[in-house]
Amino acid sequence: MCPLCSVSVDLPRALKLRFIVQLRPVLQGHGLHSVAKSTAILLPFSLILQDFIESEDSFLLSVSVFHSFHNLAESNSGCKKGKLACINVSYVVYLGRHSYASEPSTTDLDRVTDAHHELLGSCMKSKEKAKQAIFYSYTRYINGFAAVLEDEEAAEISKHPEVVSVSRNQISQLHTTNSWGFLGLERNGEIPADSMWLKARFGEDVIIGTLDTGVWPESESFNDEGMGPVPSKWKGYCDPNDGIKCNRKLIGARYFSKGHEAAETHDSSNHTARDYDGHGTHTLSTAGGRFVSGANLLGSAYGTAKGGSPSSRVASYKVCWPRCSDADVLAGYEAAIHDGVDILSVSLGSGPREYITHGNAIGAFLAMERGILVVASAGNQGPDPGVVGNVAPWILTVACSTINNQGMSFNTNTQPAGKFYPLINSVDAKAANVSSNQAKYCSIGSLDPLKVKGKIVYCTRNEVPDVEKSLVVSQAGGVGVILANQLIIQQIRPRAHFVPTSVVSADDGLSILTYVYSTKSPVAYISGATKVGTVAAPVMADFSSPGPNFITPEILKVLVAYDISATTISNVKQPIANASLLEATPLNYGAGHIWPSRAMDPGLVYDLTTKDYVNFLCSIGYNSTQLSLFIGKPYICPSQNNGLLDFNYPSITVPNLSSNKTTLSRTLKNVGTPSLYRVNIRAPGGISVKVEPRSLKFDKINEEKMFKVTLEAKKGFKSNDYVFGEITWSDGKHHVRSPVVVKNMEVAA
């Protein structure tokens, strides 16, 4: 058995899941260190149902990162006073982009590196010192470098006229199946004639890259049997360290660790593109994994694994260890753009940051210029509002929602269907010299095996991971776990448990305890059945980071899909709900849930070019000098600019309708047959919406038509909250919908 495997399972009436199983001689963290160090066990390290990609450690990691920076700041403060040894910090110095007339030669690249040494050397008063400080020179697309600097040196070089921005080498976190059937690509395990998969030839020869934790190349998801030659445009390669081998499916595997090494202690023996975390293998196989029959989890839920684009070629760029530094992320972008990827999947991010200091935003802009679509996750910091990351408008930012699976636990089929087992409250099964409170939460070592063996144990949830509780019960000889919430609004998330486990609400938990203490011999059984198609879906995951966009409120993030090819209605014909089962809003789901068949033939699109994005940056305050460096050629911001209101984004967001009336414009491009489109308006509450003209006639492909939208607060309307509506253009076949999001900051007269 390989030490690390990643598969997704698809079965019409079985649990649809993706899992990572790792053989670990030593388990650490959250009390798992108590497992004997000499014992190797099979650990269900991460169970991820499609779109339930979330880390229970995310909050702890955030706190850890905060304290690291806080302690570093204190250390640097002390070193200035001569009390402590100075700790240098790594920075990314961004000089804009390169504009080579043709493919640069090795001499050209060396000349750029030398120019970086000269530039930094002029501030450090020594070119040799600059050479030692710089650990990355970005020489192909991104013009800049990453270097270890003292704060004073960073401040000094930021004053140089050639410098666009200087920012600390910030750290991003990783964001972590009946899915394809739920999206309409297959039905009951069969691929229908109208499936987008067939129309797109399963993504044949499209090259998908990921910036992540690497890849496990031996996974069957990357088998190249029957595949043709690698596309001739491909320039990438596989780094052979640690036995990495590529083929006609996995055509690239590289790693970038210098930024991480500059920011944190790093074991140089781990210099490899191999994935020892699992996240990168998961995301790469989800995007482009091949059909793998017989996939299962610990002998259950047999089915066929596959990615969303199973005939694509895939390439892995390891930039996360498992945290991801801006310096390494930018190096990954440089390599991926040069190698020839068509799509980049980036499941990592940080909190909202300004565009020209954000490694992901900078790299994605350069990719966008070359026709590479960058798809990034919104983040796992929900449900608090305004925490969405990766907010640059040139990034397709996706949220996280559920599919139509019923059940919140995994059944390893160790319990015969319908067989009852004795049921015991964990408090009554406590070990000697252990407090009742420890036993209540099924803490490590808190249960007496003599009292637990052969029974289902009732445990109460707390901040300790649910999986650990199932491990404790399993080690004590229990056959199942009932995990009860303490709070009414506590969320339930799927996990790979060591024994069959069911999570119940606080109210249901009290009912179960009442039964336990009113019955002489309480019994229970846990059913492992997971039904498909009987549950309202999608529902927004509670951890999925929602808007509004903190950096640019006029840009609606997140998107669960492109605006013109999405739905806001669930499979039971009700509005999409949030994790609390209340009606969700565009701040949760953006445009709505993806609708692949409509994406193939949208009819109309809101087109955006590089020039539009540069004008967007003009409208939010970047000047012509900065933008000339940013795009690598002279640029003058237009004098007549209606700001963000006329930015041709598919959604319409007005975060401050302070004048009570605003007019804006949008332009639609016809990418279908000639047709007449008429508008349908669903106005936000308290807001009147007027669209002119009311119809648009397109006579040829690529023809463009403009329309104006006037938003006005109705008399007496007042609200400090966002209100929501939509505008839909339709010719009877195509439905081109734009969310309308408005916040009225003043009371109408």
Q: Rounded to 5 degrees, what are φ and ψ at 62?
A: -60, -45
Buried/exposed 640-661: b ≥16 CB within 10 Å, e otherwise = eeeebbbbbbbbbbbbebeebe
- Residue 430 CB-half CA count within 13 A: 13
pLDDT band (50, 70, 90) for residue 294: confident
Q: For residue 710, what are its two tokens?
A: 């006037």
Closest CA to 703 of 674, 735, 728, 730: 674
pLDDT at 100 over 50: yes
pLDDT of the residue at 117:
97
pLDDT at 276 over 80: yes
pLDDT of the residue at 716:
77
Element (H, E) at 166: strand 165-168
User: Rounded CA gap, 474 and 394, in Å?
Assistant: 48
pLDDT of the residue at 413:
45
Residue 359's SS3 state is: helix
pLDDT band (50, 70, 90) for residue 78: very low
pLDDT of the residue at 380:
58
With pLDDT > 90 as the criterion, what percentage of the chain qualifies? 45
pLDDT of the residue at 406:
46
User: Rounded CA gap, 175 and 411, in Å?
Assistant: 26
Question: What is the mean predicted confidence (pLDDT) over 294-309?
Answer: 69
Are 136 and 259 contacting, i.e. CB atoms less than 8 angstroms apart? yes
pLDDT of the residue at 663:
92
User: Rounded CA gap, 531 and 421, in Å?
Assistant: 23
Question: What is the mean predicted confidence (pLDDT) over 679-702?
Answer: 95
Name the range with the highest mean pLDDT among 287-291, 320-324, 340-344, 540-544.
Answer: 340-344
Question: What is the mean predicted confidence (pLDDT) over 68-82?
Answer: 37
pLDDT digits (tens, 9 = 90+) for 165-183: 999 998 887 765 445 554 5
Q: For residue 571, what are its two tokens?
A: 């499979």
pLDDT band (50, 70, 90) for residue 553: confident
pLDDT digits (tens, 9 = 90+) for 709-731: 999 988 878 777 889 999 999 99
Lowest mean pLDDT among 173-187, 240-254, 693-707: 173-187
pLDDT band (50, 70, 90) for residue 292: confident
Are 46 and 27 contacting, i.e. CB atoms less than 8 angstroms apart? no
User: Rounded CA gap, 282 and 17, in Å?
Assistant: 11
User: Rounded CA gap, 236 and 336, in Å?
Assistant: 8
pLDDT digits (tens, 9 = 90+) for 8-54: 223 222 222 222 222 222 222 222 222 222 222 222 222 222 222 23
Are 385 and 587 contacting, i.e. CB atoms less than 8 angstroms apart? yes
pLDDT at 688 over 70: yes
Q: Which residue has the higher pLDDT, 486 or 748?
A: 486
Closest CA to 94 of 454, 446, 353: 353
Length of the chain (residues): 749
* β-strands 313-318, 250-255 pairing: parallel
pLDDT digits (tens, 9 = 90+) for 111-145: 999 999 999 999 999 999 999 999 999 999 999 99
pLDDT of the residue at 501:
87
pLDDT digits (tens, 9 = 90+) for 347-390: 887 777 888 888 899 999 999 999 999 998 876 555 666 567 78
pLDDT of the residue at 633:
86
Are 377 and 346 contacting, i.e. CB atoms less than 8 angstroms apart? yes
pLDDT of the residue at 349:
77
What number of other Cβ atoms are within 10 A of residue 49's Cβ? 26
pLDDT of the residue at 503:
86
pLDDT of the residue at 425:
97
Q: Which residue has the higher pLDDT, 716 or 633?
A: 633
The pTM for the full model equals: 0.72
pLDDT digits (tens, 9 = 90+) for 598-608: 778 899 999 99
Residue 4's SS3 state is: strand
User: Rounded CA gap, 634 and 40, in Å?
Assistant: 61
What are the E-state strand segments in 405-479? 421-425, 456-460
Q: Which residue has the higher pLDDT, 294 or 653?
A: 653
pLDDT at 706 over 80: yes
Burial class (CB in 10 A: 0-12, 13-18, 19+), 294: exposed
pLDDT of the residue at 404:
45
pLDDT digits (tens, 9 = 90+) for 236-249: 999 999 999 999 99
From the CA atom positions of the chain, what is the Rg in Å? 27
pLDDT at 579 over 80: no
Provide the mean pLDDT of the chain. 77
User: Rounded CA gap, 54 and 542, in Å?
Assistant: 10
